[in-house]
Copies of this chain bind each other. A is one copy, B any other.
Amino acid sequence: MQAAELLPAPAQVPPESVDLSVDIGRGLTLPNPILAASGPFGYGVEYAELVDLHRLGGICCRGTTLKPRLGNPGPRFVETPAGLLHAIGLQNPGVDAVIARYAETWASWTAPVVVNVAARSVRDFVEIARRLDGVPGVAAIELNLSCPNVDAGGSLFAADSSAAAEVTAAVRRATDLPLVVKLSPNVTEIRPIARAVAAAGADAVSAINAVAGVAIAQVAGGPSLLGDATGGLSGPAVKPIALRIVSEIVASVKIPVIAIGGVTSLADVLDFLAVGAVAVGVGSAVFADPGLPVRLVESLAETCGTQGMTSYRGLIRTAGARALPRPRGASA
Contacts and interface: CB of A to CB of B under 8 A. Distances in A.
A247 interface: yes
Contacts of A331: 67, 69, 120, 150
Interface in A205-261: 211-217, 219-225, 227-231, 233, 235-241, 243-244, 247
B119 A332 contact: yes
A92 to B, nearest CB: 9
A199 interface: no
A73 B3 contact: no
A319 B81 contact: no
A85 B229 CA distance: 27
A159 B188 contact: yes
A321 interface: yes
A119 to B, nearest CB: 5
Interface residues of A, number: 84
State the number of copies, please. 2
Contact of A222 (B81, B220, B319): B319
A108 interface: no
The prevalent SS among residues of A at the interface is loop
A308 interface: no
Given A85-B240, A223-B274, A329 B247 contact: no
Q: Which of A3, A70, A188, A215 has the most CB of B within 10 A?
A: A188
B332 A216 contact: no
Q: Which of A89, A214, A275 has the most CB of B within 10 A?
A: A214
A107 interface: no
A133 interface: no
A104 B327 CA distance: 30
A3 B214 CA distance: 25
A280 to B, nearest CB: 14
B69 A329 contact: yes
5 contacts: A3-B220, A4-B221, A69-B330, A118-B332, A212-B244
Q: Which 3 A-B pairs have the closest CB atoms?
A: A213-B240, A67-B330, A82-B82
Given A70-B329, A225-B322, A228-B321, 7 more contacts: A65-B330, A67-B330, A73-B324, A94-B330, A186-B188, A225-B247, A225-B275
Interface of A: 1-4, 65-73, 80-83, 85, 89-91, 94, 118-120, 124, 147, 150, 155, 159, 186-189, 211-217, 219-225, 227-231, 233, 235-241, 243-244, 247, 262, 270-271, 274-275, 318-332
